[in-house]
Amino acid sequence: MAMFTIFSNWRRQRQLARFDPERRARWQQNLDALPILDGLGRDQQSRLMALGWCFLHDKRFTPVMDAALTDDHCIDIALMAALPVLNLGLEAYGVFHELLIYPEEFVSDRHYVDDQGIEHQGMETLSGEAWEQGPVLLSLSELGYSGHWNGYNLVIHELAHKLDMANGGIADGLPALPAPLRPGWLEAFPKAFASQRRLVSRAQSAPAGSPEAALAWNTLWVDPYGAENEAEFFAVCIEAFFTDPIALHLAYPELYHLLSRFLGQNPMVRAPQWQPLPHLCPR
Ligand SMILES: [Zn+2]
């Protein structure tokens, strides 16, 4: 999508007018220091910084519990938040106004299903959370692990929930896809989710410490947390798309290609290349 359609309105133009060369140079340093942004072309980098700048000015970043939130944290969060919507624009996240920044992991009262498949209502320790029609919560301690090609990214994960919620207000693994992609998605996504659940339960039921267990866990290319429900599967797939795309492509190639068309990006070409060891390859 062309630049003018993403930044067309007057408010955006005014925001961007304040993004002067000195500030751009500062943002460029942060961008260069985040490995998952490696390999973006000049145009993509400048669009990413502009989107990040607008994100930072659209949202309130509220430190809670004495979180020591710095300018660098804010810039890094904004750059990583801008990455999934680089070609869609910030509006793809729907309406939300605030990010609550915690110093460490925090406890939240919620309904969840544990590793054994048992349902709980109660307090759970979380590194991040995205509320429907509400803020995004992030912990600074976990932010430190984000930004690498390691399959983990707290910011992208939570913003993926917003991308999901922007379609009808609920997180259900069905984002606002263009019509031509919907039939393929409605077939591929449930299939991949069912496969993820099967693989996770196979890994969990293998005797702990056995070679079968090791093989089952080592060939889980996508975060096992994704087996929890469709919304989490969507979020870990987006997270993997940008931080371990080769693994996502290996696990769920159709889903990878649908995401690639939806988001207008192909991070596999930028990612450090690796091959699964032959004896680990499930196929
Ligand atoms: Zn999540």
Measure 109 CA to ligand 1 centroid, in angstroms. Answer: 14
Measure 15 CA to ligand 1 centroid, in angstroms. Answer: 31
Residue 146's pLDDT is: 93
Measure 150 CA to ligand 1 centroid, in angstroms. Answer: 17
pLDDT averaged over every residue in the chain: 91
What proportion of the chain, given as a percentage, has pLDDT over 90?
A: 75
Measure 270 CA to ligand 1 centroid, in angstroms. Answer: 25
Q: Is the pLDDT of residue 158 over 70?
A: yes
Strand residues in the chain grouped as ranges (E)? 60-63, 98-102, 106-113, 119-126, 128-130, 136-139
pLDDT digits (tens, 9 = 90+) for 87-128: 999 999 999 999 999 998 888 877 666 656 666 677 778 888
Q: Is the pLDDT of residue 5 over 60?
A: no
Reported as a pLDDT band with limits 50, 70 and 90, residue 253 is very high
Residue 117's pLDDT is: 61
Higher pLDDT: 238 or 126? It is: 238
Measure 272 CA to ligand 1 centroid, in angstroms. Answer: 25
Measure 54 CA to ligand 1 centroid, in angstroms. Answer: 24
- Would you list the domain boundaries of the chain? 3-165, 179-280
pLDDT digits (tens, 9 = 90+) for 169-204: 899 999 999 999 999 999 999 999 999 999 999 999
Q: Is the pLDDT of residue 2 over 50?
A: no
| Residue range 57-83: mean pLDDT, rounded | 96
CB half-sphere exposure, 235, CA atoms < 13 A? 26
Q: Has domain 179-280 been given CATH number 1.25.40? A: no
Residue 125's pLDDT is: 82
Other CB atoms within 10 A of residue 262 CB: 21
Measure 81 CA to ligand 1 centroid, in angstroms. Answer: 15
Q: Residues 80, 153: contact at Cβ < 8 Å?
A: yes
Residue 202's pLDDT is: 92
Measure 236 CA to ligand 1 centroid, in angstroms. Answer: 7
What proportion of the chain, given as a percentage, has pLDDT over 70?
A: 91
Residue 251's pLDDT is: 96
| Residue range 125-138: mean pLDDT, rounded | 88
For ligand 1, a single-atom ion, the residues with CB < 5 A are 232, 235
Measure 13 CA to ligand 1 centroid, in angstroms. Answer: 33
Multiple choice CATH, 3-165, 2.40.30.170, 3.40.50.170, 1.10.472.150, 3.40.190.10: 1.10.472.150
Measure 175 CA to ligand 1 centroid, in angstroms. Answer: 15
